[in-house]
Amino acid sequence: MTALGTGVAPGSTKPARTRRRPGKKLTFDKVSFFLVFLGVPVVFYLAFVVSPFVQAVYYSLTDWSGFSPEMNFVGISNYRTLLGDGTFMKSVGNSITLVIVLPVVTIVLSLVLASFVTVGGSSHGRIKGLRNSSFYRVISFFPYVVPAIIIGIMWQQIYDPSAGLLNGVLTRLGFQQFSSFPWLGDERTAMVATMFVIVWGFVGFYMVLFVAGIKGIPAELYEAARIDGAGRFRTMTRITIPMIRDNIQTAYIYMGILSLDAFVYMVAMNPGGGPNNSTLVMAQQLFSTAFTQGKFGLACAMGVVLAAITLTFAGLVFVVNWLTGGHEDITE
C-alpha cells in the first residue's frame, strides 16, 4: 500500500494533514443579492400578509366595534358565539358544500375539454386535437376575462323568473312549468344555479392551464398507448393525469380557495343569502357582521375560522396528492 493510499507522508509515521478547501467568502454582491431578492420580499410578506393576520387574530379576541379606539379583551367569547350562531353555521355548511363540489366539477370538465382540444382528434395518423380546437379555446376562455360582478349580474338577469332568458327558452321548448320559475328564489335550485355560474366562469381558464400541461407531454407516449390499444379514458387516467399531476393540484387548491370565498358571485346573484340562507357563504356573513352590525371583533373571528378552513383544505389536498403517489416519479 502506498503512502498516498494510507494517508501517511513518505518518511514519516504521522498521517499527512488533509488540505482543507477554502470556504466561500461572502462578497458584497452575494449579500446584496440576498438582501434584495430574499430579504425585501420577506419583509413585505411579513408586513402585508403575516402582520394583518396576527392583527385579525388579536381583534377576534376583543369586542372591537371597528369605529372606536376602545376595545375590551373578551378571550374566546366570539368563537363561542359563532358556535351558537345558526346563521353562521349555515354559511359554513354552504361554503364547505362549495369547496367539495366546485373544484371537482370544474377540474373534471376542464380536463375533459383540454384532452379533446389537444389529443382528442382522429384515432388515426398523428396525435392532434379536435378540428377548430383553437376556436374552442378562445370561446371557453372568454368568460374568465369578464369581471365576476358582471357575470353575476348577467346571470341574475338570465335567471329572472318573469323576463329571464332561461325561462323564456325553456317555455318555447314546451316546458311550461318553467314559465315563471324562480331559479335563485327557490331553495332547491338556488345553490345549484349559483354553482353552475361559477363553473361556467372558470372552466375555460383551467382548460387552458391543462392544455399547456398536456402540450408538454411527449407525443410518443400517446402513440405508444394507441398502439397498445388503450382507449381515450385509459389514456387520460394512465398518461395525461399522472403527467400533469402538479398542474391539477395547483388548480384544485386555487379553485378550492375561490369556492370558500365566492363573495362576489353570491352578492351579485343572492344579496340576501338566498331563500332561507341557502346560498349564504362565510364571506357574506363576515361582511354583514362587520359593516352592517358594527361587530368587527366577531367578524375577525369569522375571518380566522375561514382562514383555518382554507389552510386545512390546502393541507388535505397536499396530503391526498402525496398518499396517491404524487411524491413518486412516473415509472412504467
Averaged pLDDT for residues 29-52: 84
Query: Cα torsion at 245, 250, 254, 257 (round to 10°)?
Result: 90
pLDDT digits (tens, 9 = 90+) for 285-304: 999 999 989 899 999 999 99
Which pTM was predicted?
A: 0.82
- CATH code for 96-280? 1.10.3720.10
- In terms of Cβ atoms closer than 10 Å to its own Cβ (0-12, 13-18, 19+), residue 163 is exposed
User: Could you tell me which residues come within 8 angstroms of residue 252 by beta carbon, excluding any fewer than 6 positions away?
Assistant: 103, 107, 317
The answer, yes or no, to whether residue 5 has pLDDT greater than 90, is no
Q: Which residues of the chain does CATH 1.10.3720.10 include?
A: 96-280
Averaged pLDDT for residues 78-104: 94
Single out the residue of 199, 142, 187 nearest to residue 277, CA to CA.
187
H-run or E-run covering 317: helix 296-321
pLDDT digits (tens, 9 = 90+) for 244-281: 988 999 999 999 999 998 899 999 998 888 899 999 99
CA atoms within 13 A on the CB side of 202: 25
Q: Please give the grid coordinates belonging to residue 219.
A: 407525443
Phi, psi of 12 (to 5 degrees): -140, 145
Averaged pLDDT for residues 85-94: 94
Instruction: Provide the mean pLDDT of the chain.
Output: 85
Q: Please give the grid coordinates belonging to residue 218.
A: 411527449
pLDDT at site 142: 85
The answer, yes or no, to whether residue 4 has pLDDT greater than 70, is no
DSSP state of 262: -
Phi-psi region of 95 (alpha: psi -120 to 50; beta: other; left: phi over 0): alpha
If pLDDT is split at 50, 70 and 90, which confidence band does 126 have? Answer: low
In sequence order, what DSSP letters do the residues of 75-104 get, joined into one string? TTHHHHHHHT-HHHHHHHHHHHHHHHHHHH
Residues 103, 98: Cα–Cα separation, whole Å: 8
pLDDT digits (tens, 9 = 90+) for 167-203: 999 999 988 888 889 999 999 999 999 999 999 999 9
Do 33 and 24 meet the contact criterion of CB atoms below 8 Å apart? no
Q: Please give the grid coordinates belonging to residue 237.
A: 387516467
Phi-psi region of 186 (alpha: psi -120 to 50; beta: other; left: phi over 0): beta
Residues 226, 112: Cα–Cα separation, whole Å: 18
Do 194 and 270 meet the contact criterion of CB atoms below 8 Å apart? yes
Q: Please give the grid coordinates belonging to residue 133.
A: 380546437
pLDDT at site 331: 42
If pLDDT is split at 50, 70 and 90, which confidence band does 329 have? Answer: very low
